[in-house]
Amino acid sequence: MEAVTIKDIARALNLSTSTVSRALRGSYEINPETKRLVMEYAERMNYRPNPIALSLKENRSRAIGVIVPQIANHFFSQAINGIEAIAYNRGYHVIIFQSHESYEREVVTVQQSVSRKVDGLLISLSSQTTNVAHLKDLEEKGFPLVQFDRVSSELDIPKIIADNYQGAFEATEHLLQTGRRRIAHLTIPPWMSITQERLAGYKDALAKYNVPFDEDLVRYCGFGDDAVGPMVDELLALTPAPDAFFTASDRLALGCLAALRKRNVAIPETVSLIGFTNLNVADLLSPSMSTVVQPAMEIGQLAAERLIELIERKQKAAPPNTVKIPARLVVRESSIRE
Amino acid sequence: MEAVTIKDIARALNLSTSTVSRALRGSYEINPETKRLVMEYAERMNYRPNPIALSLKENRSRAIGVIVPQIANHFFSQAINGIEAIAYNRGYHVIIFQSHESYEREVVTVQQSVSRKVDGLLISLSSQTTNVAHLKDLEEKGFPLVQFDRVSSELDIPKIIADNYQGAFEATEHLLQTGRRRIAHLTIPPWMSITQERLAGYKDALAKYNVPFDEDLVRYCGFGDDAVGPMVDELLALTPAPDAFFTASDRLALGCLAALRKRNVAIPETVSLIGFTNLNVADLLSPSMSTVVQPAMEIGQLAAERLIELIERKQKAAPPNTVKIPARLVVRESSIRE
DNA sequence: TTGTATGCGTTATCAC
DNA sequence: GTGATAACGCATACAA
């Protein structure tokens, strides 16, 4: 509570605050004896510079803001983990904000975090965000800003993402190689970057194997509604019925799994299941559900590194604006049908 | 970047900074006309008070620190969710720190967060922490401090916890009521508060049903080692073998589940499984694994409320120092054997 | 080598 | 009703 200040030290040692200040920060031209004296006393009194005073003076807070849709989500909590690891190493604090998948809250939160004087912002868009004017604003002001995972191409700033295209391609290819032909794709809202990237990978894999793309096999599921069960039903009712499900998130994979179990649809005998998911219990959940694992922690780390570079203006050879990190396909079945 | 300050407004309107300041904060005795002028201009220029300057002046940061062992853990990310909900409502920021289950890092982190001038601290102890001198220190200084979940009784400060005793009692009782008699208890390090509370509940339930307590059925598993499999093996090798497993965490429940599956031990035919866990996929994982669900979000909310009360010294009728919130038993099996 | 003065943005105190 | 000044803790340009 009674934090000791430079002024206290100065008074106690009969020096001026500037001398103490200089001694403390090991300034070049200062009497070694004075320096020792100050250092010792500071140590003894457990002096700690007041970061708020520093912030005011230097006009920077040494804090970065992170805006994610939800903390309580495997991918994001892992990403935050990565962000923290880097940030704390570089002397930055991490202040976490949640948009709760709401566009309005995202806008408010962006404003809040900026007026809270974070030095930079790391953001993954809410699933409702289609307009990025609130960020365009910051971009134009040159405010340090990095996007990760769910990004908008309308912003010309660094983006760190998983290689969703390639992950989806490999997932689909795996299903095709094991003989599946009617692959349903259960995914999230169509305007999201990750949705589009994955859909493209899915389509291209189908094309490579000369399987026609069937619009009917693709279903979009919002974050609010728990409509996964009915959607699976609809899909199963198609003729011909799907022989595989490729889902775009933890939630969808779980919902799909639950629906299939409820209807006694055998996996992988009747349908194969593969999903983008970061659940570490996937193999316990369903030993035959393959997964595409996103490199959450690496994404967080890279994003944080990139942001700190931006903040500290070390734009040496200006690294590429979009970094894609491979998503890892984990195969847990081998029921080749041919 | 070019944030507008009170000084800018004063200059533009030919007023003094003090007048502007007063007008802005709706001070009583000020010319309504002047006030309107200032307000309008401020609005138009999108003026936002600099929180850092305020912090320096008021000697408070409007930020609270949260120290948890791990973010990427269901219980803690849900708790943080609760903390955030309250904190942001009350105008506080949340700065998250991880101790990574290390005592040393916890000590460092506590110091860091305090010298970063958080207004108060919410902490859940690392699994390695047995000495709480670093917190005793703060307690003695009267620094606002609240413990949650993993607490130390050596600290005479508010504690918000789940009712681990009752949860464990009910879990054990449920197993006993379904005919189980050799109930293994797989748990975390013995010195932790939650371990002791749960063990007590387990023992008392056994006593109520006149089942002798067998030390051999209790195994302690640290957080580093992945020794769950071997432990389950050892337990299964006992004579008589256990007919039920009661585990103390997500990780142990999963490890136990995996080990039992690997050995083709049927659940619930051969052994029952019940665990303290906050996994939302428990029923998918094992339709017959009952769980004791901890009220993570409520714990976070209450802890944050309590801390903010402390910070703002609204110690009205000084609420009780320890708050226990019921843990909810979710039964997913009904294989009564008698 | 050390001290004095100034400023970061804001508000409280005291004048006028 | 409004303005000048000091202070929060620190760093630094400028003097000495």
pLDDT, tens only, B125-183: 999 999 999 999 999 989 999 999 999 999 999 999 999 999 999 999 999 999 999 99
Closest CA–CA distance from residue B73 to any residue of chain A (Å): 8
Q: What is the model's pLDDT at position A338? A: 42
The span from the CA of B113 to the CA of B117, in Å, is 7
Per cent of chain B over pLDDT 90 is 79
Q: Please give residues of chain B from 24 to 53 whose alpha-adjacent beta carbon (CB) lies under 7 Å from any atom of strand C.
A: 24-25, 48-50, 53
Residues B181, B168: Cα–Cα separation, whole Å: 15
pLDDT digits (tens, 9 = 90+) for A213-231: 999 999 999 987 778 999 9
Does the nearest atom of strand D lie within 7 Å of B16's Cβ?
yes
pLDDT for the residue numbered B315: 53
pLDDT, position B181: 95
Q: Could you count the other beta carbons within 10 Å of the beta carbon of residue A321?
A: 13
Which among B71, B94, B117 is the nearest to A81, CB-wise? B71
CA distance A109 to chain B (A): 10
Q: What is the pTM of this model?
A: 0.90
Across A184-201, average pLDDT: 97
Tell whether A81 lies on the interface with B, counting CB pairs under 8 A: yes
d(CA A233, CA A263): 9
- A77 to chain B, closest Cα gap in Å: 5
Q: What is the pLDDT of residues A278-318, one digit of tens each?
A: 888 888 888 888 999 999 999 999 999 999 999 998 555 56
Of B56, B73, B141, the CB nearest to A1: B141
Report pLDDT for B282. 82
With an 8 Å Cβ cutoff, are B84 and A71 in contact?
yes
Task: Name chain A contacts of B115, Cβ cutoff 8 Å.
Answer: 48, 51
Neighbours of A44 (CB within 10 A): 9
Residue A4 CB: number of other CB atoms within 10 A? 15
**Cα distance between the two ends of chain B:** 73
Query: In chain B, whose CA is at the least distance from the CA of A61?
Result: B52
Query: According to the model, what pLDDT value does residue B10 have?
Result: 94
- Asked if the Cβ of residue A18 lies within 7 A of any atom of strand D, the reply is yes
Nucleotide nearest the Cα atom of B28 (by C1') = D1
User: Which residue's CA shows the smallest distance to C1' of D2?
Assistant: B19
| Cross-chain Cβ contact A78/B72 below 8 Å | yes
Determine, for residues A254 and B50 on separate chains, whether the beta-carbon distance falls below 8 Å: no
List of chain B residues whose C-beta atoms are within 8 Å of the C-beta of residue A117: 50-52
3-state secondary structure of B272: strand
Contact between A79 and A106 (Cβ < 8 Å): no
Mean pLDDT of A319-324: 85
pLDDT at position A337:
45
**Range with the largest mean pLDDT of A209-218, B67-76, B225-234:** A209-218
Separation between Cα atoms, residue A268 and residue A291, nearest integer Å: 14
Beta bridge partners of B292: B276, B329
Chain A residues inside the 8 Å CB shell of B73: 77
B106 touches chain A (CB under 8 A): no
Q: Determine whether the interchain pair B115/A48 forms a contact, defined as Cβ–Cβ distance below 8 Å.
A: yes
Nearest to A251 by CA among A272, A234, A227: A227
Assess whether pLDDT exceeds 80 at residue A334.
no
**Helix ranges restricted to H, chain B:** 6-13, 17-24, 32-44, 51-58, 74-89, 103-115, 133-141, 164-177, 193-208, 228-237, 250-262, 282-285, 296-311
Across B281-304, average pLDDT: 92
Report the 10 Å Cβ neighbour count for A216: 12
Average pLDDT, chain B: 92
Q: Tell the burial category of B48 from Cβ atoms under 10 Å away from its Cβ (0-12, 13-18, 19+).
A: middle
**Residue B226 in tokens:** 């992945």
Nearest nucleotide relative to B4: CA against C1'? C9
Per-residue confidence (pLDDT) for residue A314, from 0 to 100: 54
Segments in chain A forming alpha helices (H): 6-13, 17-24, 32-44, 51-58, 74-89, 103-115, 133-141, 164-177, 193-208, 228-237, 250-262, 282-285, 296-311
> Contact, A155 vs A135, CB < 8 A?
yes
Q: Tell which of A284, A291, A297, A299 to mutate to test the B interface (max B CBs under 10 Å).
A: A284
Is B284 in contact with A258 (Cβ distance < 8 A)?
Answer: yes
Residue B337 has pLDDT above 50, yes or no: no
Task: Calculate the alpha carbon distances from B187 to A281, B95, B193, B227, B242 in Å.
Answer: 20, 30, 12, 12, 15
Strand C positions within 7 A of protein Cβ atoms: 1-5, 7-13
pLDDT for the residue A301: 98
Put simply, whether B258 touches A (Cβ < 8 Å) is yes
CA A60 to C1' D13, in angstroms, rounded, equals 21
Q: How many CB pairs below 8 A link A and B?
A: 92
Q: Which of A72, A84, A254 sits opposite B284 (nearest CB)?
A: A254
Smallest Cβ–Cβ distance between A71 and the set B51, B56, B81 belongs to B81
Question: What is the average pLDDT across B22-49?
Answer: 89
**pLDDT tens profile A2-29:** 789 999 999 999 999 999 999 998 766 7
* CA dist., res. B80 & res. B67, Å (int): 10
Which has the higher per-residue pLDDT, A32 or A187? A187
Hits for CB < 7 Å against strand C across B residues 62-81: none
Mean pLDDT over all residues of chain A? Answer: 91
d(CA A215, CA A55): 54
Does residue B203 surpass a pLDDT of 70? yes
Judge contact between B94 and B86, C-beta under 8 A.
no
Question: At B338, is the pLDDT very low, low, confident or very high (cuts 50, 70, 90)?
Answer: very low
Nearest beta carbon to residue B81 from set A1, A72, A284? A72
Chain B residues lying within 8 Å of A81, measured CB to CB: 71-72, 98
pLDDT band at B313 (very low <50, low <70, confident <90, very high): confident
Among B118-122, B221-225, B312-316, where is mean pLDDT lowest? B312-316
Highest average pLDDT, of A224-233, A249-258, B326-335, comes from A249-258
Q: Is B143 on the interface with A (CB under 8 A)?
A: yes
Average pLDDT over every residue of A190-203: 97
Separation in Å, CA B238 to CA A327, B163, B183, B216, B241: 44, 31, 12, 9, 5
> Nearest-CA residue of chain B relative to A280?
B254
DSSP string, B33-78: HHHHHHHHHHHHTT----HHHHHHHHT--SEEEEEES-SSSHHHHH
